[in-house]
């Protein structure tokens, strides 16, 4: 288990690409791995693991875990009120015209598929999606974006980027034609170049702002962006 930060109330782990955050019983997930990790470490038969949020299966990076029910309840409330700051980095095809900007769309999760789509604001299932981006660097036809979420919709970054002609590298579901990292025979397990880089939350005991930074996977070196994403250089 790649534990990045931990105390008596919570921990932040680095979820690898291709692993579900949570899943039905019998399906491999980060939650199941955490249960086994805590069992082996503490000897408890049924340790508590609180999962106040998730990141998509093909995405890597920071996941906040509650170690007590009270802490998890607080984290859920912070996510609900948008008090937790989440910063992602993504490698996309193409380069936005403006170096910084805000993307605003209306989108919906397609009920019978693991996919989302852009819709009109009047659609009965429409939810607003807002993110802020910053162009970090460009290498050839690829660009690295730093992304801050104002809303947290299913596949939000992936869909909003692709909608503007900037599909995330490896994300064939939303139009990418470029492979990224180890290729599984199951498309859902294939990694994409989207990483939950930083999470900032209020500590459940002290109330102080706590910031945790997670370095990008080694595979990012293959696209030429690893050096600009060394710890502290992007989100410090």
pLDDT at 235: 39
Q: What is the pLDDT of residue 186?
A: 72
Task: Report domain extents, the chain.
Answer: 3-229
Give me the CATH code for the 3-229 domain, please.
3.30.2350.10
CA dist., res. 78 & res. 86, Å (int) = 12
| Alpha-carbon dihedral sign for residues 179, 91, 89, 226 | positive
H helices, E strands: number in the chain: 3, 10
| Per-residue pLDDT at 234 | 47
Q: What is the pTM of this model?
A: 0.89
- Note the pLDDT of residue 190: 83
* pLDDT score at 187: 67
How far is Cα 190 from Cα 97, in angstroms, rounded to an integer? Answer: 29
**Quick check: helix, strand or coil at residue 173?**
helix
Extract the residue ranges of the chain whose pLDDT is less than 70: 187, 226-236
What does the pLDDT read at residue 114?
Answer: 84
Enumerate the active-site residues.
Answer: 56
Output the six-digit token pair for 111. 């009920």
pLDDT of 54-99, one tens digit each? 999 999 999 999 999 999 999 999 999 989 999 999 999 999 999 9
Residue 229 has what pLDDT?
A: 64
Q: Residue 7, Cβ neighbours under 10 Å: how many?
A: 13
Report the pLDDT value the prediction gives residue 175, as an integer from 0 to 100: 92
Q: What is the pLDDT of residue 221?
A: 81
Q: Residue 220 CB: number of other CB atoms within 10 A?
A: 23
Under 8 Å between Cβ of 57 and 189: yes
Coil, helix or strand at residue 115: strand
CB of 15 closer than 8 Å to CB of 55: yes
Say what the pLDDT of residue 24 is. Answer: 80
Instruction: Determine the Cα–Cα distance for residues 32 and 177; give it in Å rounded to an integer.
Output: 33
Q: Phi and psi at residue 39, in whole multiples of 5°?
A: -60, -50
């Amino acid at each position: 288990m790649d534990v990045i930060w931990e105390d008596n109330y919570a921990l932040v782990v680095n979820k690898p690409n291709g692993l579900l955050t949570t899943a039905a019983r019998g399906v491999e997930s980060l939650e199941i791995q955490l249960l086994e990790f805590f069992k082996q470490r503490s000897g408890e038969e049924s340790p508590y693991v609180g999962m106040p949020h998730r990141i998509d299966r093909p995405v890597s990076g920071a996941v906040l875990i509650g170690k007590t029910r009270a802490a998890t309840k607080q984290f859920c409330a912070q996510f609900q009120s948008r008090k937790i700051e989440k910063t992602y980095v993504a490698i996309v095809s193409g380069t936005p015209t403006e170096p910084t900007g805000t993307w605003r769309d209306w989108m919906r999760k397609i009920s019978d598929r693991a996919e989302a789509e852009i819709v009109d604001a009047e659609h009965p299932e429409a939810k607003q999606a807002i993110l802020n981006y910053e162009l970090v660097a460009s290498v050839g036809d690829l660009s690295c974006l730093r992304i801050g979420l104002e809303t947290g919709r299913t596949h939000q970054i992936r869909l909003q980027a692709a909608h503007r002609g900037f599909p995330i590298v490896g994300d064939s579901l939303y139009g990418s034609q470029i492979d990224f990292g180890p290729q599984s025979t199951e498309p859902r397990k294939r990694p994409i170049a989207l990483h939950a880089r930083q999470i900032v939350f209020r500590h459940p005991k002290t109330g102080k702002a706590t910031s945790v930074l997670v370095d990008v996977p080694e595979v990012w070196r293959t696209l030429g962006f690893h050096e600009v994403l060394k710890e502290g250089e992007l989100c410090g």
